A = this chain, B = another copy of it.
């Protein structure tokens, strides 16, 4: 394992105090503990902090104890993040304080308005955002490797001291994340478009399915499943995120509304002059935007070649397939299973680098697999 904790040099000295032991806070605790760093835990919910301690994410901060953390990680809900950061900066005057809320401008604005904080306090604060999560929440769902290979954005302000930024970076690196840096404004603009807008569009679509007849839903395909997957996300968290980034998100929603109105107008008069052209334009603009999304490896979008193999839907078949692919020395880039109601056969869609595709097709075909090119 390349992420084996024992081969991993740690950067933080610790102890690290984690305030808030939900999914992310408890995962940070687990990840740091796996690297031998001392972690203290605190949560307003006694049961949440007890669970976090029980799963090995650290030990509960003793009440009234004189902890002297090197770093305080504020992992509270976005709504209360600024308040918790402010308290931590005053309570631990030697510690660096970072938060991990998914919106950054509103937290910093609230801290600036906070008369109890000096510029010297704010020099020890760095806003950050680890872009990781799960569909489940709470400390029970926590895992130390949650941040492995995921982006972790640092958003220092002009008040942040270089040493504080260095400590924030070490936290992200020790947890195996990919660190990037941008201003709070750039961050919030970015996530409005690549995270908050997709969430809203998925929810708006899924909402339409509430009264759909069963015979219609029985025709659901992978397209519908993909577009609506994130509509299953936690409403209470998203209320806070959308509320805090409202001004940036709403700009994109104006754009969507304009396109939607144009589309509705076209569909109300589908035989009108130019209707076809309007529809083609909408679809082509979607093509153009979609093509700009980077691939999973951060490489050029859509750079892999796909093929499909039929397999029996029983234990070991996919393993046998992948074993043979591995024996041919070909690395799998992505894989998707597709099998439908009541059928004994599944389709495995496999992507490889384009130069390997024909080799793999030939190899699998000669080994008795049914390859659908």
Report which A residues bind B (CB closer than 8 A).
1-3, 131, 143-146, 148-151, 153, 178, 180, 182, 186, 189-191, 193-195, 197-210, 212-213, 215-221, 223-233, 235-236, 238-239, 242-244, 246-247, 249-250, 252-257, 259-261, 263-264, 267-268, 270, 275-276, 279-280, 282-294, 296-299, 302, 308, 310, 312-327, 329-345, 347, 370, 372-373
B197 and A208 within 8 A (CB): yes
Q: What B residues does A182 contact at CB under 8 A? A: 215
Complex CA distance for A230 and B131, rounded to whole angstroms: 24
Interface secondary structure of A, over-half rule? helix
Given A201-B204, A319-B319, 5 extra CB contacts under 8 A: A193-B209, A198-B205, A227-B230, A253-B264, A318-B326
* Copy total for this chain: 2
A149 and B343 within 8 A (CB): yes
Closest chain B residue, CB of each to CB of A373: B143
A227 and B226 within 8 A (CB): yes
Complex CA distance for A171 and B84, rounded to whole angstroms: 66
Cβ-neighbour of A294 out of B218, B270, B299, B302 (below 8 A): B218
Q: What B residues does A373 contact at CB under 8 A? A: 143
Cβ-neighbour of A315 out of B253, B276, B329 (below 8 A): B329
A340 and B238 within 8 A (CB): no
B198 and A223 within 8 A (CB): yes
Which of the listed residues A228, A254, A327, A330 has the most CB atoms from chain B within 10 Å of its own CB?
A228
Question: How close is A294's CB to chain B, nearest CB, in angstroms?
Answer: 6
Q: What B residues does A342 contact at CB under 8 A? A: 178, 297-298
